[in-house]
């Protein structure tokens, strides 16, 4: 047991020594230091009931960061980032999937995206006729939160 | 060794069993599910050179979430959230510390905050005459990124 513990401690120290500097680099590249290696990307997405973001109370709000790795409170950050990269950050390019059937009930939801995508400011708003329609856009990524 | 491994595996499974449901609850409360327990808070803060956010390229951009726990790419999320709670989300209430000396060089930086604070939309912009002045506001929290 004692040997195992000593071995585990050594492994832990080695891991710290190896990964420590890497973590430091990753943080510097995150856009937090003055020497960021790439343009920042950080977004807030909100969802509210209604057809106007100025009037709708934001019911849900999530953050999404796509560099250096996918992170944030977005429930499927990986997929959302992949989707955003695929469309070059152009939210209007997200199209509805043809395999999803939604009813025609009009209960509008409004989605907003604010922040920065690859160094450019984003201020986007889009209204969907109901939540099913919203979720049918893209492949369960960006707007599914 | 074999016994230790078995013991470790058991401990791991127990931890999963105990922590799994807790994680699930935390996620649901995060504002990602339809049954969020509190108003969402999710912000993106940016910093750029110049005196107008519309013209300044965002040099840094970080995310900040304050509920259920402090998170995001903000380098001091804990302190920033504590500060924001202290001023009730009113960014204008952040005052400069008197113990910081800055030169009078005019190299303006502009900070923006977009997103949602406790269920209310935030769209804030503030110009500081230089970066030292920016960092002198608050206690190394919100604007120090």
Three-state SS for chain A is CHHHHHHHHHHHHHHHHHHHHHHHHHHHHHHHCCCCCCCCCEEEEEEEECCCCCCCCEEEEEEEECCCCCECCCCCHHHHHHHHHHCCCCHHHCCECCCCCCCCCCCCEEEEEEEEECCEEEEEEEEECCHHHHHCECCCCCCCC
Which of B28, B47, B116 is the best substitution to test chain A (most A C-beta atoms within 10 A)?
B116
Q: How far apart, in whole angstroms, are the C-alpha atoms of residue B29 and residue A138?
A: 25
Kindly list the residues from chain A whose CB atom is less than 8 angstroms away from the CB atom of residue B116. Answer: 44, 46, 58, 61
Token pair recorded at residue B59: 């040099």
Comparing B11 with A136, which gets the higher pLDDT? A136
Please state, in angstroms and rounded to a whole number, the distance separating the CA atoms of residues B107 and B17: 55
Whole-angstrom CA distances from B25 to A60, B32, B35, B77, B80 are 16, 11, 10, 22, 25
> Over the stretch B3-43, which tens digit does the pLDDT of each residue have?
554 554 444 444 444 443 443 333 333 444 444 677 889 99
pLDDT at B32: 44
Q: Do A44 and B115 touch (CB under 8 A)?
A: yes
Which residue from B minimizes the CA distance to A62?
Answer: B42
pLDDT of residue B106: 95
Minimum-distance CB partner of B44 among A58, A115, A145: A115
Is the Cα torsion angle B84, B55, B121, A69 positive or negative in sign? negative
A129/A6 Cα distance (integer angstroms) = 62
Query: Is 0.80 surpassed by the pTM of this model?
Result: no
Residue A40 to residue B46, Cβ atoms within 8 A: yes
Instruction: Please report the number of interchain residue pairs, chain A to chain B, with beta-carbon separation below 8 angstroms.
Output: 116
pLDDT at A36: 60
- Contact list in B for residue A57 (CB cut-off 8 A) is 119
Would you say domain B2-135 falls under CATH 3.30.350.10? Answer: yes
d(CA B145, CA B136): 12
Question: Which one of A33, A44, A145 makes the best mutation probe of the B interface by having the most chain B beta carbons within 10 Å?
Answer: A44
Which of A1, A11, A31 to mutate: most B Cβ within 10 Å? A31
Q: What's phi and psi for A60, nearest 5 deg? A: -135, 145
Which pLDDT value is given to residue A7?
52
Residues of chain B above pLDDT 70, percent: 75
pLDDT in tens, A3-34: 554 554 444 444 444 443 443 333 333 444 44
pLDDT of residue B18: 42
Answer whether B115 sits within 8 Å of A119, measured CB to CB. no
Q: Model confidence over A45-96: pLDDT tens digits?
A: 999 999 998 889 999 999 999 988 899 999 999 999 999 999 999 999 888 8
Burial of residue B79, with CB atoms counted within 10 A of its CB: 0-12 exposed, 13-18 middle, 19 or more buried: middle
pLDDT digits (tens, 9 = 90+) for B40-66: 899 999 999 999 988 899 999 999 999
Rounded Cα distance, A109 and A97, in Å = 18
Closest Cβ opposite residue B58 in set A46, A121, A123: A121
pLDDT digits (tens, 9 = 90+) for B101-130: 899 999 999 999 999 999 999 999 999 999
User: Cβ of A46 and B42 within 8 Å?
Assistant: yes
With a CB cutoff of 8 Å and minimum separation 6, the contacts of B142 are B45, B80, B83, B84, B91, B94
Pairwise CB contact (< 8 Å): B145 & A32: yes
């Amino acid at each position: 047991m004692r040997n195992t513990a000593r071995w585990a401690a050594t492994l832990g120290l080695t891991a710290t020594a190896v990964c420590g500097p890497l973590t430091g680099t990753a943080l510097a590249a995150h856009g937090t230091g003055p020497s960021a290696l790439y343009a920042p990307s950080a977004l807030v997405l909100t969802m509210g009931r209604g057809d106007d973001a100025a009037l709708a109370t934001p019911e849900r709000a999530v953050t999404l960061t796509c560099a250096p790795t996918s992170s944030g409170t977005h429930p499927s950050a990986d997929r959302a980032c992949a989707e955003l990269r695929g469309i070059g950050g152009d939210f209007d390019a997200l199209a509805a999937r043809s395999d999803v059937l939604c009813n025609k009930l009009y209960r509008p939801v409004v989605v907003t995206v604010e922040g920065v995508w690859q160094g450019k400011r984003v201020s986007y708003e889009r209204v969907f006729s109901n939540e099913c329609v919203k979720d049918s856009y893209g492949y369960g990524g960006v707007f599914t939160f």
